[in-house]
Amino acid sequence: MSIRPHRFTPLERRAAFTLAGVYGLRMLGLFLMMPVLALGVRGMPGADDARLVGLAIGVFGLTQALLQIPFGIASDLLGRRRVIVVGLWIFAAGSVWGALATSVPELVAARSLQGAGAISAAVSAYLADLTRDGVRTRAMALVGAAIGLSFALSLVLAPVLYGAQGLPGLFWLTGLLAVAASGLVMRLPRRPVDAPAPAPWAWASALTLLRQGQLLRLNVGIFVLMAIQAALFVSIPSVLEGLGFALTEHWRIYLPLLVVAFVVMLPMVFVGERRGQLRVLFLLGVGLLWASMVGMGFLAGKAGLLPWGIALLVFMVGFNLLEALLPSWVSRLAPAERRGLALGIYTTAQSLGLFVGGAAAGSLLYWVGLAGVFWACAGLVLAWGWVAWGMVNPPPRAASHLADAHHPEKPVTLA
């Protein structure tokens, strides 16, 4: 029986859904902490220092940023499955430490260990190994959807689970999710028979990938997007509390806004994909993100559920739009060789953005207050818009990786 080039084979379907599930479970474990940590540490030693609390929220991004490329290289040399399972168990160990922590500095250390399980690049490279060019973008899009879904679920579930189990219970749950994810990985083949042999490490390859203009713009984009996400998790819980919503009731705000945001976002993605206008869609997402930050800057310190709800809705539409576009776009542009390395660079930028956003927001909240956080985010998005203006529509799905193999893009600068 012939294999249709644009349909999943049984193995590809299993690999796509399994690895998307692994990625989603791990990100859910990380995201579950973020909506509640800023208020959930109250009563712990160190909780009165916003800088320390911001560090606890974002520090896992620093250890991930330091280890994404080493984990990506290790997956090239030692095998994807082995590296992914080890990383998940490291994350689980950090979760156990967090459940037992009795102070905010100890939580910072536990979150650092969670981030040390830096498997994002290895998971993406493993998925690329197990799929053909004609279906790879859809497989990567499933990973992007899993990340978006885990973000949405964390906003809704975190306050409810916190009310039932407290902060230690959330850490225990994240550890169990990591162990469950490692079991899913072990069901996949160790290495596909026709996978390319790993290439030897060379600094020239890394420098070439870092200078490739389109990938560089996407790396900057995911950095900014994650930085803003972490900054909002530091600041928005106190805003909602000031509007009269206890931490366990924040889901009442998040859930309806997320549903509306997805309903608005999905047709936009469908039309943009169909008409080949991803650049327009991408710039629209950046514009929505900027508008939401400006709106929050003006609203800081003011009451009113409706204006805050509108600002949060605009942010969620822009965020989910960009979260859906970025992974698919990167999957089309990343070269077939050095997959672990290329995706390691991208996920390093992602992790570094989470760390910088959490730590910077905590410091800004401490020194200049709530409005300063939002205006700083607005400035960051404006700078991103300037960088993103040079993006071009990616090549057609079926031809993108074949084109990379025979006509690799020359390194360019942002100028």
Q: What is the pLDDT of residue 189?
A: 78
Q: What is the pLDDT of residue 401?
A: 40
Residue entry with tokens 């799929």: 131
In this structure, the number of other CB atoms found within 10 A of the CB of residue 297 comes to 19
* pLDDT grade for 288, boundaries at 50, 70 and 90: very high
What is the rounded CA–CA span in Å between residue 39 and residue 241?
10
Q: Is the dihedral of CA 52, 66, 63, 32 positive or negative?
A: positive
What type of residue is 244?
Answer: G
Mean pLDDT lowest among 139-153, 357-371, 399-413: 399-413
* Cβ contact 249:380 at 8 Å: no
| E strand intervals along 339-388 | none
- In the predicted model, what is the mean pLDDT of residues 298-322? 89
Is a pLDDT exceeding 90 seen at residue 398? no
Q: What is the pLDDT of residue 410?
A: 38
Residue 38: closest CA among 107, 109, 117, 100 = 107
| Token reading at 198 | 């790993």
What is the rounded CA–CA span in Å between residue 151 and residue 199?
35
Residue, of 12 and 142, whose pLDDT is higher: 12
Sketch out the chain's domains with CATH numbers.
12-191+201-397 (1.20.1250.20)
What is the rounded CA–CA span in Å between residue 260 and residue 206?
41
Q: Which of 167-181, 260-274, 325-339 has the highest mean pLDDT?
A: 167-181
| Token reading at 316 | 């969620």
Residue 22: closest CA among 185, 135, 158, 142 = 185
- In the predicted model, what is the mean pLDDT of residues 251-262? 82
* Cβ contact 214:91 at 8 Å: no
pLDDT in tens, 68-100: 878 877 887 888 888 999 999 999 999 999 899
**Is the pTM for the entire model greater than 0.75?**
no
Non-local (6+) Cβ contacts of 219 within 8 A are 345, 346, 349
* pLDDT grade for 351, boundaries at 50, 70 and 90: confident
What is the rounded CA–CA span in Å between residue 245 and residue 247?
6
Where does residue 17 rank: exposed (0-12), middle (13-18), buried (19+ CB within 10 A)?
Answer: middle
- Phi/psi of residue 46, nearest 5 degrees: 95, -5
Buried b / exposed e along 177-216 (16+ C-beta atoms within 10 A): bbeebbebbeebeeeeeeeeebeeeeeebbebbeebbbbb
What is the rounded CA–CA span in Å between residue 26 and residue 121?
13
Residue 287: closest CA among 378, 195, 217, 197 = 378
Is a pLDDT exceeding 80 seen at residue 323? no
Is a pLDDT exceeding 70 seen at residue 133? no
What is the rounded CA–CA span in Å between residue 321 and residue 163?
30
In this structure, the number of other CB atoms found within 10 A of the CB of residue 392 comes to 10
What is the rounded CA–CA span in Å between residue 372 and residue 195?
50
| Token reading at 322 | 């960009």
| E strand intervals along 113-251 | none
Residue, of 302 and 205, whose pLDDT is higher: 302
Is a pLDDT exceeding 50 seen at residue 165? yes
SS3 214: helix
Residue 280: closest CA among 359, 184, 391 = 391
* pLDDT grade for 408, boundaries at 50, 70 and 90: very low
Q: What is the pLDDT of residue 246?
A: 81
Residue, of 403 and 361, whose pLDDT is higher: 361
Buried b / exposed e along 85-123 (16+ C-beta atoms within 10 A): bbbbebbbbbbbbbbebeebbbbbbbbbbbbbbbbbbbb
**Furthest-apart CA pair in the chain: how many Å?**
66
SS3 189: coil
- In the predicted model, what is the mean pLDDT of residues 331-342? 64
Q: For residue 376, give the DSSP letter.
A: H
Q: How many CA atoms lie within 13 A of 403 on its CB side?
A: 13
Mean pLDDT, rounded, of the chain: 79
* pLDDT grade for 295, boundaries at 50, 70 and 90: very high
Q: What is the pLDDT of residue 242?
A: 87
Q: What is the pLDDT of residue 252?
A: 82
Q: What is the pLDDT of residue 334?
A: 67
* Cβ contact 338:205 at 8 Å: yes
What is the rounded CA–CA span in Å between residue 50 and residue 19?
36
* pLDDT grade for 337, boundaries at 50, 70 and 90: low
